[in-house]
Amino acid sequence: MSEKGYIPPYTISDKTVNLISAITEIITKITINDNMSNNPRLRRDNRIRTIHASLAIENNSLSLDQVTDIINGKRILGAPDEICEVKNAFEAYNKLLELNPYSIKDMLLAHIVLMNELTKEAGTFRSGGVGVFAGKQLVHMAPPANQVPHLIKDLVDWAKKAEVHPLIKSCVFHYEFEFIHPFADGNGRMGRMWQTLLLYKWKSLFGWLPIETLIRERQEEYYKVLGECDHSADSGKFVEFLLTTVYDALCEIADTEQVTERVSEQVEKLLEVMGDKEYSTKEMMELLGLKHRPSFRDNYLLPASELGYIEMTIPDKPNSSKQKYRKVEHTIK
């Protein structure tokens, strides 16, 4: 080890440099529109997609609809452990953004929440040996358990001190974390969560970006690249893989934002006239001076509702004659 402490081995390729440039450019566009921070429904939907995908990577069989129902407090039929995984993950992500990515104490706290009632070693580093499997194939044998505390300390110290671009740092951290495999269970979930946290501290929109959804779609490649980096003792290819995934996730958000931008003028008008009261469709149209119901529905009501700005007072009966609408508080639990 050098005097500077542990430095993880990784190569920065031309592709990596180009991806960082493209990601920074698209983040600037998204940040200018900034619909994510003002849209509680979009944030919540992305959070639920993230949790579903991260658990699906770990072989949780619950569907996106089932995960949504659990998070909304509804009862579903499913394996108790899988339901517990969803509840734990939702609570862990709710706490995540307040944590310090360079605190081992916070890392252990996150693991307690994530793995509560799922493993006897929740919140502690593993006490035994562990391997990483893709199906039945061993793709990585993790370092001995007695090395874990100092390996994690070295990694966290590097992440805290290294003058490396946050995008590269978060990807290298993710790879090294999976290589160390510090916990008896939950390492994949923790590694992806901690990368999200590192990126969130750089740009807040990463707190709501469903990168895991795309990792799940590329799961085979995810494990393949992890294995290749093990053999080459260099995480450069994993950095490329994750940055490509981040870029594609941002492109999806940017596409959504373009649609949002086109409708936002009418939505803003609607929100301006609504105030804090509840209104029927007819009352809202009168406030806006509109007479054509389909135009009002398509250009004002539906976009505002889909973007999470307004909600029904009787959601269980959307066609009720007593149906009214009110503005939504812009918070997320």
Query: For residue 37, what are the β-bridge partners?
Result: none
The answer to whether the beta carbons of residues 263 and 300 sit under 8 Å apart is no
The answer to whether the beta carbons of residues 16 and 168 sit under 8 Å apart is yes
Cα(238)–Cα(218) distance, integer angstroms: 13
- Give the alpha-carbon dihedral of 13, 14, 15, 20, to 10 degrees: 100
Tell how strand 310-312 and strand 137-141 pair up: unpaired
Output the six-digit token pair for 93: 């992500």
Q: Which of 111, 174, 181, 330 is the catalytic position?
A: 181
Q: Which amino acid is at 26?
A: I
181 is catalytic: yes
Cα(244)–Cα(248) distance, integer angstroms: 6
**309 annotated binding-site participant:** no
**186 annotated binding-site participant:** yes
Characterise 16 by phi-psi region: left (phi > 0), alpha (psi -120 to 50), beta (else): alpha
**73 annotated binding-site participant:** no
**275 annotated binding-site participant:** no
Output the six-digit token pair for 100: 């310090």
Cα(203)–Cα(177) distance, integer angstroms: 21
**126 annotated binding-site participant:** no
DSSP tag of 297: I
**326 annotated binding-site participant:** no
**319 annotated binding-site participant:** no
The answer to whether the beta carbons of residues 195 and 171 sit under 8 Å apart is yes
**45 annotated binding-site participant:** no
Containing 288, the helix (H) or strand (E) segment is helix 281-288
Annotated binding residues for ATP = 185-192, 222-223
Annotated catalytic sites, by residue?
181
